[in-house]
Structure 1
Amino acid sequence: MNLRFETAGKLTSICSKTHLAFRFHLPQPTNELHILFHYAPKRLEDLETAEREIKAAILRDATVKQQQALTERWADFSPLNNLITVSIDDPVGFRGSAHRHDPVQHHKLSQKEASPGFTSGPLPKGIWTVTLSAHCIVTTECHYELKVWEGGQA
């Protein structure tokens, strides 16, 4: 294993609908690249906060005619979950994305194979970008870690 990039951080609800782009240098072509990403918590456990957020969204987004029926069924929209997804670009362009709900994701790229959502092929030297897309952060804080390495399993 040859570590190429590692970072960790914290997101809050104001980070929803934003993208964090992390760049790392690959000094020479490689045969295998791994991206390990995880975040926590996944779920908003506070039911009072969930109810308040769901009802506010209904009032904001539903038509007046729909609001009463939807507000009465607010629990049908629970639980609320954080969602952060991963995209990868190599020095040439887009290599794929993983729009998955799993809070722990391990992706592999190589000449002959790649994790679902990504393309296999040469892994050229140069500047690579891993983008974390914070689609929705519903908890007070959401902590993430990202690690990129060449070679076998960590």
Structure 2
Amino acid sequence: MAEQVLAVTEDRAVNRGLLTHAGHHLLVSSSIIPLANKAQAVNARFPAYDSHAAQQAVAADPSLLVAAIKRHRKVIKENGGVKAGNVRMLLCPLGYRDACFAIGLLDILDEFGRERGNVAHGAGAAVVNIPTGSTELARIAKIIPGLARIDQYVPRLLLPA
């Protein structure tokens, strides 16, 4: 889903000169990252939050947004986790906030990720309780409504900034 948001955002910026809501958040997020590193912070600037100015900048030259999208695609590719931190790393730079997540979803994902890690990485190190099919189905049934709520927010992310 994050990749789809990036694809639409990139297409609208490059082919139409339009900045989506997700694109604006991604630009702001990628501008803040260098401020956390002393060596990079010397030349970094806190980003402007003026969406109109950002829209004009992207229309004139979408390369900054394309570079931010490329960096975020790398984050997506390298992320194999399902815990709350992994989900936030993928979605928050696109504009998702905790209010976008169903109540309890992040806790359920943390539990699911912990159990998944125990099975995937615990083999041979200790006795691992492999979950039954019905246990996994029940766990997935708890997660699906929360994922549907995440999907419902996508159209807002793709609106012009």
Greater RCO (CA < 8 Å, at least 6 residues apart): 1
Structure with more of its chain in helix, by fraction: 2
Structure with more of its chain in strand, by fraction: 1
TM-score of the alignment, normalized to the shorter chain, above 0.5: no
State the TM-score, normalized to the length of structure 1.
0.24
State the TM-score, normalized to the length of structure 2.
0.23
